[in-house]
Amino acid sequence: MRVDRFLSNLPRFNRKQVRLLLVEKRVRVDGTIVSDPHAEVLEFSRVEVDDEVLQVGKPARYFMLHKPPGCVSATRDPQHPTVLDLIHEADKNDLHIAGRLDFNTTGLMLITNDGTWSRRLTQPQTKLPKVYYVETEQEITADYAITFAKGLYFAFEDLTTQPAELVVLGAKSARLSIVEGRYHQVKRMFGHFDNKVLRLHRERMGPLLLDDALKPGEYRPLSDEEIRLI
C-alpha cells in the first residue's frame, strides 16, 4: 500500500495533513524518512510519524516443509494432525499455507506470514509451475500427454484447465507440471482416463525445489535467495 493511502486510512489524518507530513519529512518507514507519497508500506513495515509508532511491523517468515501423508493442510483440525502441528516456531498461528496438498499427498509445502509473497506463488495468473511425481493404478499411455497439453474440461467449475506438461517415466509413473491448483486437479485429470492415482508427491513450486535433506515432517527456513526467486 502507498504510504499516503496508509496514513489517509487512519482516522486521525486527512489527505491535506498527510501531504504536509510527507513534505515536512516527519514520516519514517522502517527507520528511513520518506517524502514520496508512492513509497510502499508493507504489512511488515514499521511506520512512525515524529516519534510515534503507527505500525509496529513484524518480521516476514518463510518455511519449506516436507509434508508427510496423513496430515491436513490446515491450521486447525479437530480430528487429524495439521501441517502447523509440525512447525515449532513462536507465533506460528500467524503463518498460513501457500498452496495446499491433499490429506495423503506428500512433498513440498511452503508456509509463510507474507500474504503478498504467497499470492504471487499460487495465483494462476503468475503461471508458476507446480511439479508432481505421480504413480497410478493402470498404465499411462501417450495420449495422456496430448490430452493434458490441450486442457481438460471440468464440468463442476465449468472451465477448461490450463495446458499441462506430462513426462512419462515408467509404465505407471510420470511427472506432471501444472500452473493451477484446482480441487483435486491431478487426480481428476488422471480420472479422465479412469486411472486412479496411488501416489502423489509435489517436487517443486515455481523455482523452489523440495530440499532432499528434509525428511517427511521436517522443515527449514527459506534462504534470502529462495525468497527473492518468487
**Greatest C-alpha distance within the chain:** 71
Which are the contacts of 5, defined by CB distance < 8 A and separation ≥ 6? Answer: none
Contact 170, 218 (CB under 8 A): no
Active-site residue, selected from the candidate residues 77, 85, 102, 211: 102
User: Is position 51 annotated as part of the catalytic site?
Assistant: no
Q: Which amino acid is at 212?
A: D
Helices (H), the chain: 3-8, 15-23, 115-122, 142-150, 185-191, 224-229
| H or E segment and range at residue 110 | strand 106-112
SS3 217: coil
Question: In terms of Cα–Cα distance, which of 130, 129, 106, 110 is closest to 200?
Answer: 106
Which residues participate in catalysis according to the annotation?
102
